[in-house]
Structure 1
C-alpha cells in the first residue's frame, strides 16, 4: 500500500513539474505566440479545433454523468429498467451534429490550406529572371542550414535575415537526408527532401518582431540523425530599410587581409585548412553541390556558434577543437586535423572579425 502511495506521489510531483516547465522557454519559440499571418492562420485553426473537441468532451461527459446518476441501481430495487431498442430521433441527432461540426472545421481548414499553399508570386519572373517577391532558397544539411537569396545574389548560413510586414517565399530542399524547415512563431513546418523542392511562404509582423528583439527561432522538425535536436537556426526579422542595408553590406563582402596580426595569421590557417569547404564572401557563385559547409561571410555577426553555443571566441575555439563533442555525427569532425592552442586563438580571432554589420 505504501509503495502505491509513493508511486502516486512521484507521479503527482512529476506532473506538476512538467506543467510548470511547459511555461518555460525562449520568447517567440512557440506556435502559441504567432508572429505573422501564416502563424496566425494556423493558430486560429488550432483554437477552433480545440474548442470543438473540448465542447464534445464536455457534452459527452455530462451525458455520461447524468446517465450514471439517474439510472444507477438503487438499494432494494431489483426491477429491470425500461428497455429502449432504438430511437430514430436520437440517432439522427448524434449523426447530424458530428457532421455539422466537421463542416464547421473543414471549411476554414480548406480555405487556409489553399491560402498557405499559394506561392504563385514566386513563379512570376521578370525579363532578367528575378522576381518581385522576395525568394529564399533553403538548403538543409547535416546539421546546418543554408539560405540563398537568388534575386540579391547572396548566400548565408545559420542566420536567416528577412524583412517584416511582407510575404517571404521559400524553396526548401535537403542535400543529404530528409529534414523539416520550421519557424514555430511564423508557422510553416514543411519537409525538405532530397528529390524535390517544396514551397512555402511566411510573414513576420514588425510589431511582434520588435517585441521579440527581432529574433525568432527555427528548427529541424524531422528526425535526421544524432544531432537532430541541435539543428537550429536564428531568424532576424527587420524593417525593409534595414534589410536593404544588410543586403548591400553582404554584396560588398570580399576577402581582405585583417589588420590585426593575430587574425591575419588565422586567415592563413583558414586558407590551408578550411577554405576548401567554407566561403567567406556572400556573393558565392558556386553551384550548391560545391557548397559543402556553411558560408562564413558574416560569421562575426551571428547570434550563436554552430547554432547552439554562445557567440564568443572561447566557444569558437571549443567548437574548432572538438566539433563532435557538441554535434555528434557532423561532417566537420576530423576534416582538418588537430590545431594547437595558438592556432585556435588565431583562427578564432579571424572568424570573429568576419562582419558585415558595424
Structure 2
C-alpha cells in the first residue's frame, strides 16, 4: 500500500513539474510569446479553440458528476430513473449548442486562413517592380539558403529581415521535404521539391527587442538523421538598419586576407572549397551550382554549421569530420588530408569573412 501511495505521489510531482515547465519559454523561440501579426493571430485561435474545448469538457464532467451522485444505487436503490428519450427540448439543446460552438470556432478559423494566404503583394507590377520584400528560401540537407531576388543578395544560415512590415517567402527544397518554421513568429510551412509554397510573416519591433533582435528557426519535418540539427538564426532589425545592411551586402567587395596565414587559407579554400561554396553575397551562380552554404558572412555568424560554438577550434573540428556532428550531411572532400597548419590557415581565413564589423 505504501509503495502504491509513493508511486502516486511521484506521478503527481511529475505532473505538476510538467505543467509548470509547459508555461516556460524564451521570447526568441516560444510559440506562447508571439512576436508578430501572424503568430499573434494563430495564438488567439489556439486560445479560442482551447477555451471551447475546456468549456465542453467542464460541461460533460459536471453532468457526469451530477449523474453519479444523484442517481447512485445507495440513493435510488433498484428504482429506474425517469427516462428522457424523445424529449424534443433536450434534443434541440444538445444539437444546437455544438453547432454554435463549431461556428464560433469555424468562422474566425476560415477567415484567418484566407487572410494569411493572401500573397498578392508578391506579384510584380507591369514594370516588373514590387514594393513587398520577397525572400526565396531553399532548404537543403541540412542547411538553409536565403535569396533576396530583388536585392541581388544570397545568404545562408542567417536570415535577415526588417521589423514592422510583412516579409513574403517563396519556399522550396532541393533534395527532400523540409518545413520552414520560426516558432515565435508564425506557424510552419512545408518546403517541397516540386512546387513552391508562399506565405508571409511579420516581425514585431518591440518583441524583437525583447529577444535581442534574434529569433531561432528550425526544420519541422523529419528529413533525415540530422533533422534535429537543421537550425537557422533570424536577425530582425528596424527598416533603416535593414536598408543599411542591404547596401553593405550589395556593395561588398572581394575579401582580402590581411595576414600571411589567412592568405594561405584563401589558397587552400580556392583549391578545396570554392567548387561548392561562395564567399560573395552577390552570388550569381544558378541554383543548381549552389551546392553548399554561401560563406560571405561566415565570420559574423553566431554558430558553426548551425549548432557549434563560433570559434576556430570548433571550426577545425567541423572541417576534420563533419559527419561526426551532422550525420548524413553532404559536405565531402579531402579535408582529412589537411595538416594542422593548413587547418589553422583555413580557419583563420574563414573567420575573417565579414561584410559588416
**Which bracket does the TM-score occupy, shorter chain normalised?**
over 0.9
Asked whether 1:355 is paired with 2:350, we answer: no
Q: Deviations over 1:241-289 (max 9, x none)?
A: 1111111111122333301122111111111111100000000111111
TM-superposed CA distance for 1:238, in Å, is 0.2
Counterpart CA distance in 1 for 2:76 and 2:285 is: 89
Counterpart CA distance in 1 for 2:333 and 2:199 is: 36
Partner of 1:95: 95
Q: Deviations over 1:63-85 (max 9, x none)?
A: 11111111111168333323333
Query: Any conservation in 2 of the 1:230–1:308 contact (CA below 8 Å)?
Result: yes
Q: Deviations over 1:52-103 (max 9, x none)?
A: 1111111111111111111111168333323333311111111100100111
SS of the aligned residue for 1:275 comes to: coil
Partner of 1:269: 268
Unmatched 5+ residue regions in structure 2? none
TM-superposed CA distance for 1:25, in Å, is 5.0
C-alpha distance 349-124 of structure 1, shift in aligned 2 (>3 A): same
SS of the aligned residue for 2:184 comes to: coil
Please list, as runs of the form range in 1=range in 2, the aligned pairs for 1:136-285 lying within 5 A after superposition: 136-285=135-284
Query: Any conservation in 1 of the 2:27–2:184 contact (CA below 8 Å)?
Result: no
Partner of 1:107: 107
Counterpart CA distance in 1 for 2:339 and 2:12 is: 52
Counterpart CA distance in 2 for 1:154 and 1:23 is: 39
Partner of 2:288: 289
SS of the aligned residue for 2:280 comes to: coil
Q: Deviations over 1:84-134 (max 9, x none)?
A: 33311111111100100111111111111111000000013352x342110
C-alpha distance 82-20 of structure 1, shift in aligned 2 (>3 A): closer
Bigger drift between 338-347 and 18-27 goes to 18-27
SS of the aligned residue for 1:91 comes to: helix
Query: TM-score w.r.t. structure 1 length?
Result: 0.95
C-alpha distance 18-76 of structure 1, shift in aligned 2 (>3 A): closer
C-alpha distance 148-342 of structure 1, shift in aligned 2 (>3 A): same
Unmatched 5+ residue regions in structure 1? none
Partner of 2:122: 122
Partner of 1:131: 130
Query: Any conservation in 2 of the 1:282–1:295 contact (CA below 8 Å)?
Result: yes
Counterpart CA distance in 2 for 1:253 and 1:185 is: 31
Counterpart CA distance in 1 for 2:336 and 2:123 is: 45
Partner of 2:47: 47
TM-superposed CA distance for 1:351, in Å, is 0.8
Q: CA RMSD in A?
A: 1.8
